[in-house]
């Protein structure tokens, strides 16, 4: 699937940038191949406009922010949060024509990130109960480009068979036999429940609060169409660790991996840096293998054998849901 060619994907919300990155001025982002600029508007909320000045096409992200408006770095044309040009410094007489404007996108702040939907969203931003639960702290983990497709990353997130291969160096169990697994498609995603033994290497012991060589993860996975996942992990000692992973689509071949987590312990018990270091080791294992996959290829669903394997079913359900949704909105899947 070439994500930049599927119009429906423009109708979802994506987390594109930590809000803190906008403190120092405007920042560019490429979302589904579209170049946008983000900045903080007059009320401190994020604004997303096309990153192209309507005067002589300079990128607005090269400019500055003044009183919540963005000022082009070329000749100073100034745009408000709706994309309307409100000042042309060289124009001392005529009023500003209505055509002096740039397209604006829906933009919101949620969970500490700026979210953008390029067209009318078909779904609101997903709710995370941990975000308002005082029992949890939020730790921002990764914001980095991976050269892989969002769907590949989502398939991987729900695929229990890769643990003992890809995660040999971290928590991968020697032989992978999930004790139980269930899955259920929801209207806008998928819910899975897994209980599996995992290795507990030295570097993980403090993070999971156990000195044993093995531990057990009980995991509830939620997939939110199209490229977001919540993985709520609980350990035998009651510790809860919920990971939110988003593969925000940059273009047909790359995604911005935006990941944060919620923990039921405190900074004094386990420092965030230690949690990030362990999840970094795990995530690097995934990154290496996922960047070797084909972003446009689809699993051969006529082969059928994968439908018999719990480890492959979530990826197949995701693919079928996405294809059904495309059809519902009058689109076919586009390949390169």
Among 225, 286, 314, 326, binds Fe ion (CB under 5 A): 286
Could you tell which of Fe ion, ligand FES, none binds residue 72, using a CB distance below 5 to 8 A set by kind? ligand FES
H-helix or E-strand containing 266?
none
- Closest CB to ligand FES among residues 6, 61: 61
Least distance to ligand FES, CB of residue 86, Å: 13
279 binds Fe ion (CB under 5 A): no
Residue 13 or residue 158: which is nearer to Fe ion going by CB? Answer: 158
CA distances from 8 to 5, 113, 224, 278, 333 (A): 9, 22, 15, 36, 11
C-alpha 51/C-alpha 28 separation (Å) is 7
Shortest Cβ 22–ligand FES spacing (Å): 20
Pairing of strands 214-224, 228-234: antiparallel
Query: Any idea what the Cα angle at residue 317 is, between residues 316 and 322, rounded to 5°?
Result: 100
Residues 141-170, interacting with ligand FES (CB under 6 A): none
- d(Cα 102, Cα 83) in Å, to the nearest integer? 5
Comparison of 67 and 266: residue with beta carbon closer to ligand FES: 67
> Least Å distance between CB 59 and ligand FES?
9
Contacts with Fe ion in 122-151 (CB under 5 A)?
none
The pair of structure tokens assigned to 292 is 């070797």
Report whether 146 contacts 287 (CB < 8 A). Answer: yes
Q: Strand 255-263 and strand 69-71: pairing? A: unpaired
Site string for ligand FES, 51-80 (x = CB under 6 A): --x-xx-x-------------x-xxxx---
CB of 62 to Fe ion, least distance (A): 38
- The listed partner (Fe ion, ligand FES, none) that binds 75, CB under 5 to 8 Å by sort, is ligand FES
Residues in the chain: 336
Strands annotated E in 32-102: 34-40, 46-50, 64-66, 69-71, 78-79, 85-87
Stretch that binds ligand FES, among 3-11, 48-56, 169-177, 323-331 (CB under 6 A): 48-56
Binding site for Fe ion (CB under 5 A): 286
Binding site for ligand FES (CB under 6 A): 53, 55-56, 58, 72, 74-77
């Amino acid at each position: 699937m070439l994500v930049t060619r599927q119009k429906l994907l423009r109708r979802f919300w994506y987390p594109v940038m930590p809000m803190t990155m906008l403190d120092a001025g405007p920042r560019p982002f490429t979302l589904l191949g579209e170049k946008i600029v983000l900045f903080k508007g007059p009320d401190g909320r994020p604004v997303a406009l096309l990153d192209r000045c309507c005067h002589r096409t300079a990128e607005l992200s090269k400019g500055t922010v003044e009183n919540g408006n963005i000022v082009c770095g070329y000749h100073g044309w100034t745009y408000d949060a709706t994309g309307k040009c409100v000042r042309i410094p060289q124009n001392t007489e005529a009023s500003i024509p209505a055509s002096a404007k740039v397209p604006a996108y829906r933009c919101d702040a949620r969970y500490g990130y700026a979210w953008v939907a390029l067209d009318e969203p078909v779904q609101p931003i997903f709710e995370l109960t941990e975000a308002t639960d005082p029992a949890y702290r939020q730790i921002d983990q990764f914001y980095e480009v991976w050269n892989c497709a969002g769907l590949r990353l989502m398939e991987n997130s729900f695929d229990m068979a890769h643990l003992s291969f890809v995660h040999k160096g971290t928590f991968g169990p020697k032989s992978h036999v999930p004790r139980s697994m269930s899955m259920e498609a929801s209207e806008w995603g998928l819910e899975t429940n897994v209980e599996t033994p995992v290795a507990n290497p030295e570097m993980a012991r403090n993070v999971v609060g156990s000195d044993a060589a093995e531990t057990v993860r009980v995991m509830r996975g939620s997939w939110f169409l199209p490229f977001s996942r919540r993985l709520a992990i609980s350990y035998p000692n009651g510790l809860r660790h919920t990971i939110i992973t988003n593969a925000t689509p940059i273009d047909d071949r790359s995604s911005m991996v935006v990941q944060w987590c919620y923990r039921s312990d405190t900074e004094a018990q386990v420092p965030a840096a230690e949690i990030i270091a362990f999840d970094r080791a795990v995530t690097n294992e995934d990154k290496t293998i996922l960047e070797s996959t084909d972003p446009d290829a689809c699993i051969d669903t006529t082969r059928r054998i994968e439908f018999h394997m719990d480890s492959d079913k979530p990826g197949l359900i995701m693919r079928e849901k996405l294809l059904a949704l495309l059809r519902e909105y009058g689109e076919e899947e586009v390949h390169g």
